Amino acid sequence: MSEPSFRDLKPIAIAAYGPVFFSAIGTGAIIPVIALTARSFGASVGTAALMVALLGVGQLIGDVPAGAIAARFGEKRALLFASVLEFFGGFGCLLARDIGVLAASILVIGVASSIFSLARQSYMAVVVPVPLRARAMSTLGGVSRIGAFIGPFIGAVVILSFGIHGAYAVDMFASVAAFALVVASTDITAGERTGPEHQNRLSVLRSFVRNRKIFLTLGIGVMLLSAARNARIAIVPLWAASLGLNAAHASLIVGIAGGVDMLLFYPGGAMMDRRGRVAVAIPSMLLLGTGMIAIVFTNDFWSLVGVGVLLGIGNGIGSGLIMTLSADAAPAVGRAQFLACWRLMSDSGAALGPLLMSAITIAFPLAAASVAMGVVSYVGAGWLRVYVPRYDPVLLASKPD
């Protein structure tokens, strides 16, 4: 029998990746203008920054109900609901004329993003064969990154014609496109809702208790990975500012690193499918850690570009890693609730990374915070090296009986 090929996913490619692509375009279009919109309402710089952070807060709020919605109504209905929710969130931003309405609408978009991500991840965990799982999940992450990369450019074109609120219209149109693709796709997981999972009505809390050994071992490693990834997002522009580089230079460095990141999602997934998850998890964390320590030795634009590329490589090869690990560890019964707990831990780590950096910089220089996050990445590499092999289907299949 020939080795499974990515071509085997062609029948579900549009249904699997199309809605994610459009959703990412919509979110990518609004992120650059959220703070500007808040400022136009007279908000302070701190309040404007908080408006951007509300997207992440909304995702955290949505993680638990997302699992319950997907388990009760199925992945397809959850995706449809998320698309509708995102549409009205974008519509609220479009009509907002004060900071309160804008904040509530951004929260709604964050919740929709959480439901969307969990439902799509759960769908992929069911329909993709194990030998293709990492490539499929990495591509899911890659498609999302590509959409988020394209979104600001589409938003910029629309803004030139219709003003700053045009970006929110892009988000609304993107959610309609995602809704249409989901409607046109077959609900492959529909039959599962007549099985034990549907009858059991396992709560998200009970899922955490039942699977606490996984969450307190592999899950902590995922939190460290998420913390390192999001710390890297914050450190590059902050360090650029400390070097006296202007916003244009900082944006260019982030863009170059993002381009490298996008190019590596499929090679990373292929490596995980063929050599095991450890073959990517450890190098990814080590590169992130090395990049955050190395950044303190940069002193100009080009040296910072070099470190940005290193961080992009570390993050890019690990695209889809967290989703792949969750699919490897998820039980057949209560899968959606398990993934909700998993996303809650991952999103918590994503929030804690920048917060930890911020806390360190209160008493110490930015360099100390960057080095500290590098150490966190190294600790995460060691942690994942211990626990990833216990759930890695590639390594488990290679062990003698």
Distances (CA, A) of 212 to 209, 317, 323: 5, 28, 18
Does 244 score more than 80 pLDDT? yes
pLDDT tens digits, one per residue of 344-375: 899 888 888 877 887 888 888 889 989 999 99
What is the token pair recorded at 71?
A: 């388990």
Quickly list DSSP for 167-210. Answer: HHHHHHHHHHHHHHHHHHS--TTGGGGGSHHHHHT--HHHHHHH
Residue 151 · residue 29 · CB < 8 Å: yes
Distance CA 187, CA 131 (A): 22
Does 46 score more than 70 pLDDT? no
Quickly list DSSP for 356-380. Answer: HHHHHHHHS-HHHHHHHHHHHHHHH
pLDDT number for residue 375: 95
pLDDT > 90 in the chain, percent? 32
Question: For 237, which DSSP code?
Answer: H
Mean pLDDT, range 212-233, rounded to an integer = 91
pLDDT number for residue 382: 96
pLDDT tens digits, one per residue of 255-271: 788 888 888 888 898 89
Residue 49 · residue 99 · CB < 8 Å: no
Confidence class for position 91, pLDDT limits 50, 70, 90: very high
Mean pLDDT, range 144-172, rounded to an integer = 87
Residue 362: CB atoms within 10 A of its CB come to 7
The whole-model pTM stands at 0.81
Residue 377 · residue 292 · CB < 8 Å: yes
Confidence class for position 196, pLDDT limits 50, 70, 90: very low
pLDDT tens digits, one per residue of 197-208: 444 456 777 888
pLDDT number for residue 131: 84
What is the token pair recorded at 9?
A: 């996913």
**Among the four given CATH numbers 1.10.1330.10, 3.30.750.24, 3.30.465.10, 1.20.1250.20, the one describing domain 1-194:** 1.20.1250.20
Q: Which CATH class is domain 202-401?
A: mainly alpha
Question: For 190, which DSSP code?
Answer: G
Helix (H, G, I), strand (E, B) or coil at 341: helix
Closest CA to 370 of 322, 270, 298, 271: 298
What is the token pair recorded at 278?
A: 């450890």
Closest CA to 324 of 379, 376, 283, 268: 268
Comma-separated ranges of CATH 1.20.1250.20 domains in the chain: 1-194, 202-401
Mean pLDDT, range 74-89, rounded to an integer = 90
Distance CA 335, CA 284 (A): 27
CB neighbour list of residue 13: distance below 8 Å, 6 or more residues apart = none
pLDDT number for residue 281: 94
Residue with the larger pLDDT of the pair 222 and 145:
222
Distance CA 294, CA 303 (A): 10
